[in-house]
């Protein structure tokens, strides 16, 4: 389809070709979007550059969302190249993997703060920059998980962070609504990515979802991509502040 024709946007959180951000980037490109990618650090740059080339995407540079200057730098680069944008995808989260296992109670103050900074505040920090160069009617999408709503084994501090991220989506939706800019989250079912491999017993969580979700299998990054296409295109101009479950229906039973 040409659903994204004439739309330009930034996708953040691409680590490799298993990343949810990659499923979204591919789908958007197939549907006519022009994409700018950011990467975190030199190691990921080497992975992101060839993926960008595959899609004809531009690379806006290094962005560590814990470092405000690097957020400014990538948005300045996007503005220099394009002037305006129509969408942003935020597919970023981090927590010390030693705390994504065992009891939530053992979360340290320092990892709690770092997890909240990178996984929650970053959406607000990024949206603040994006707003300045976003056309009216634009769209912002972030990624969340059911561990925000219910206790999931080992998800721990990341569950607390995702709950705060989902609340941020609602507040940002109000702040940007008067310009027709929408802010939504996709609550994706578990997918085997680099970030997920840090979560304790992740293979068991995948199996559990496969057996118990109404649709009896796990989600693919392409399926998340197609849901993002809906939320980032004009198909969803009446949808904001929404947490959209793309999880094989697991949230209806779990």
Which positions touch ligand 0WD (CB under 6 A)?
13, 15, 19-21, 40, 44, 63-66, 91-94, 118, 143-145, 188, 190-191, 193-196
Helices (H), 56-108: 68-82
Q: In whole angstroms, how close is the CB of 134 to ligand 0WD at the nearest point?
A: 20
Query: Which of residues 132 and 192 has its CB atom nearest to ligand 0WD in the complex?
Result: 192
Phi and psi for 28 in degrees, rounded to 5?
-65, -40
Q: In whole angstroms, how close is the CB of 57 to ligand 0WD at the nearest point?
A: 15
**Cα separation, 89 vs 119, whole angstroms:** 13
Query: Which of residues 64 and 96 has its CB atom nearest to ligand 0WD in the complex?
Result: 64
Task: Out of 39, 146, 155, 250, pick the active-site residue.
Answer: 155
Task: Out of 39, 145, 230, 250, pick the active-site residue.
Answer: 145
Contact 19, 52 (CB under 8 A): no
Q: In whole angstroms, how close is the CB of 171 to ligand 0WD at the nearest point?
A: 18
Residue 155: active-site member: yes
Phi and psi for 91 in degrees, rounded to 5?
-125, 55
Q: In whole angstroms, how close is the CB of 50 to ligand 0WD at the nearest point?
A: 15
Query: Which of residues 135 and 210 has its CB atom nearest to ligand 0WD in the complex?
Result: 210
Query: Which of residues 144 and 236 has its CB atom nearest to ligand 0WD in the complex?
Result: 144
Residue 145: active-site member: yes
Beta bridge partners of 243: 185
Q: Which of 19, 27, 23 is nearest to 235 (CA)?
A: 27
Tokens (6 digits) for 46? 């080497």
Other C-beta atoms within 10 Å of 249: how many?
Answer: 15
Terminal Cα distance for the chain, rounded: 35
Phi and psi for 11 in degrees, rounded to 5?
-115, 120
Active site residues: 145, 155
């Amino acid at each position: 389809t040409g659903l994204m024709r004439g739309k330009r946007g930034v996708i953040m959180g691409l680590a490799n070709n298993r990343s949810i951000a990659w499923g979204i980037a591919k789908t958007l490109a197939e549907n006519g979007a022009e994409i700018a990618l950011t990467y975190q650090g030199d190691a990921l740059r080497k992975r992101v550059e060839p993926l960008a080339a595959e899609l004809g995407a531009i690379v806006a540079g290094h962005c560590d969302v814990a470092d405000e200057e690097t957020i400014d730098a990538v948005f300045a680069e996007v503005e220099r190249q394009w002037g305006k944008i129509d969408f942003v995808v935020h597919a970023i989260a981090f927590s010390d993997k030693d705390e994504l296992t065992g009891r939530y109670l053992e979360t340290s103050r320092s990892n709690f703060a770092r997890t909240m900074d990178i996984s929650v505040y970053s959406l607000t920090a990024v949206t603040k920059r994006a707003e300045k160069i976003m056309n009216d009617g634009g769209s912002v999408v972030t990624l969340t998980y059911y561990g925000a709503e219910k206790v999931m084994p080992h998800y721990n501090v990341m569950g607390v962070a995702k709950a705060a991220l989902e609340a941020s989506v609602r507040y940002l939706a109000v702040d940007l609504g008067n310009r027709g800019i929408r802010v939504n989250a996709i609550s994706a079912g578990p997918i085997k990515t680099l970030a997920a491999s840090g979560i304790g017993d992740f293979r068991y969580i995948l199996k559990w979802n496969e057996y118990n979700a109404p649709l009896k299998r796990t989600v693919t990054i392409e399926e998340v991509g197609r849901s993002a296409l809906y939320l980032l295109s004009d198909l969803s101009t009446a949808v904001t502040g929404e947490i959209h479950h793309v999880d094989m229906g697991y949230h209806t039973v779990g």
